[in-house]
Chains A and B, each alone.
Chain A
C-alpha cells in the first residue's frame, strides 16, 4: 500500500503524514463520545485543538516549542485530578486523550509515530469494549486504513530522505505549506487509488468470510490440546442397545482423567460408574420413563439431595477437612452427560451445582446436557466397597406423585417393578426360570450367593470375545436369551444382560451399570487415564437390606462382594511412554485452571495484606519518630558547638555539590566508571563526539570555527595521548554549550 507521489517533496510527505496522524487522533478521540457517562471535556478540548491545528497549520507551525513542553508537564496535574477521584477507567481514558493530543501534534521519530498509533488504538479498543456498539467496528475500520497509510508514508518518507526523516526540521516543512488543497492538487492519485482498492478488497474478503463461513463453536474447536477434533462419543445415554457400549472399544482417546490426591491406596481395578439402567425390552436396557422424568425434574437438583442421602454433601467448594482424600475428575467434552464416580462418597464438589441433576435411585449424577467443554468435579472420602446405597422408590413417589399418576401408560411397568422386568415372550421366560432354578438348586438363597453362582454359571458356559454372532431366531425371540442358551462367546454386555435376566427370573432385583472399568495409570503426573476403549457394562443386584452390590459377570473379574482388593499408590505401574507424557501436560493444565479451592487463595491474599500493613505501620512509626527527633533537635537551645557542627555539615554538603563543577565527570559517571570498560574520559568524549556528529547532520549550515575546535579537542580526548590532553572539564563544558 503505497501512497507515494513523485511530485511530493520530503516536506510535503511530512505534512501529509502529519495530517493523517491528526485524523487518526480525531477518530480515536471521537470514539469517546460513544460513552454516555464519560467526561467530555478532555475529548472536546483535544478535538478542538487538533481541528484548529489542521485548519490553521501556519499557527501551529509557529507555536513556540515551549508551549508543548508546558503542555506535556501539565498532563500530570490534569490526570492526578482524575486519579484523586478514584475512578480508574475514566482516569485512564483521560490520560490517553491528553497523551494523544500531545503526541498527534508532536511526532518526529519513528518510535513517536508508533506511540501515536498505539495510543489511538488503545483508546479505540477501550471505548469499543465499553460500548460494544456497531459504530466501533466502523471506527476501527477507518482507523486501520489511516494507520496503515500513516505508517507507510512514514516508511516512504524514511527512504526518500535517505534515513534522515527523523531530523526533518518541522519549521522547514511548514514553511512551504500553501494550504491542504494545493497539497492535494499536487498529489498523484494513482498510488492512492491502488492502495485504497487493495484495502477495500481486503475488507471485502474479510466481510465475505464473516458472512458466509459457517459459525463454529470456537470453544469446542479451538482446544489447546485436543488437536484431533472431537468426534461425537456416544455410548452413554439413557438407553443402551446391545453392542452399543462395545462399539466404542476401538476408540483409544482419553475420555476421563482422574487425579487422586491425598490417597495412599486405590482400588486395584476401579469401576467408574456412570449410570444404571433398569427397564428391559428386547435386548436393550434403558432408564424407566418415571426415573427419566425424575431426572429432568426440578426436584432432582443436588440441593434436594439431603432427602435421599443423610450423610452426603453437595457443594461448590471443597470441604475444609484436610484428612479426606480427594478424587478430581476431568471429563472430556462430548463423552456423556452422566458423570463417572468411583463409588459412594461424602462430598461432591462442582462449581455450578445448578447444572447438576441427581438420580438417587440409580445413584447417578448427570449434567443438564452433554457438555461441550471439559467438566471437572471432585469427590471426597470415596468408598471403595463395591456397593452403593439404595434409595427406596417410595421417596421418589412422594415427590413427583402428581406427574407419575398423570401418566396413563399401563402397558409398561413402573419403577421399581422395572427392576424385575423380563423378556416379553413366554419361551424366553420359561428358559430363564429353568436356568435360574438350576443355579439356585430350588432352595432359597440370598442375593450374594446367587450372584456368585450365576457369574460362575455364565463363565462356565460362555467365553469372552469381541467378535460375536447371535444364534438364529427359533422359538425364543429375545436376543439375550438366545445367546444365553447357546455356547457362543460374548462380550461384557451379553454377560451383564444375561446375568440381569437370570437374577430377575430368580426374583432378585437387579440393574445394568454402564461406565468404565480400569484405566491406565499415568506415571508422569500420577493420575488415571481412562480411555473410551475402557467402556464396560456390569450389574448391580439388590441385597434386600438397602445396598446394591456390584457384580461383574464378565469372565476375569472379581467375584461379587469380595473385599475389593486395593493397591498402594506408589506401587502402581503406569504408562510412561511419550503419549502418556503428552497427556500428562494436559493434566498439568487442568490442575492449573481448575481451582476448587478459592479459600486458600483468599487466605494468602489476607496474609499478604496483613504483612504489608504491619510493615507499613512500622515504617510510618519510624518516619514520625525521625521527624520528631529532627524537630526536637532544631527547637532545642543552640550552643556554639551545635552551631559549628551545623554550619560545617552544611558547608561540606554544599562543597560536595559544588565540587562536581570542578570535575570532568559528574558523580554518576564517576560512580559508574569502575563498572565499565575503558577510560571514562575517553568514553564521555566519544559520547559527545557521536552527539556532535548527529547535530552536524541535522544542521548542515556552516559550523562556526570554535565548534570545530571543540570537536578536535574532543577527538584528542578520545584518541590522543593522555599526556597531551587538554583539560577535560573545560572541553566538556564547551562541548555541552555547543551541542
Chain B
C-alpha cells in the first residue's frame, strides 16, 4: 500500500513537472533552442503572481487569467528581442544568451523580491484532499495533473493539425526549406516561444500554490524540465508528459526509501535512460 501510494503521489508530482516540461518540449525538443532561463521565467512569473495576489487580494484563478497572457507576451518578446538574433544550426549562441538572461533574471528578482520564500495564498485549496481507496489524494495536485493533461493534449493537437503547427514542424525540420515554402521562421518561432512561456504561466501559478518560491529556485525547475524532455524523447509532446510521470514516480519512490534520496533517484533514472536509450523512451531513433 505504501508503494502504491508512492506511485500515485509520483504521478501527481509528474503533473507538476509536465507543466514545466511542455514549454521545454516545444523549445528544446521541437525548435532546438536551449533556453537556460526556462526555470527562472517560472519563478519570475510566480513572484509577479504572488505580488499581484497580495497587492490586490486576487484569487488564484484571477492570477492565472492575468498571468498567462503576460507570460505569452514575455515569451514573444524573448524570441523577438533575444532568441531570433541567435537562432541557427549552432545551439551554442542561444545557450549562452539565455544563460546570461538566467543570471540577470535571478539577480533582478533578488533585488525586487529579496531572497525570502513566498507562496500564493490558495484560500484552503492547497490543503484539501479526498480519500480514494484508502489513499489520500490532494485536490490541488489532481487539478495540476488535469491541467497538465489538458495542456499536453491541446499542444499535441495544435502541432499536428493547425497551420501554425505544421509551419513550426517544417521550420524545425529544415529552416531554409521552410522559408523556401513561404514560411517566415522568425514569426513562427516568436509565436512558438510565446506558447511555450504561456504554458509556464500555468506552471507558475500551480508551483507557487503547491510550495514556496524564491528567486534562486529557477535552475532546479530547469533541470527537471530538461530531464523530463530527455526521458520522454525529443520532439514528442506526449513523450515529455510521460517523461514527467517517470521522473515524478522515481522521485516519489526515492523519497519513501529515504527522504534525502528522492531528488537523486530522479537524476539516476534520467542518467539510466540517457545511457541505455538516448533517444528517450518514446522518441524515434535518429541516425
Pair from one complex: no
Interfacial residues, chain A to chain B (CB-CB below 8 A): none
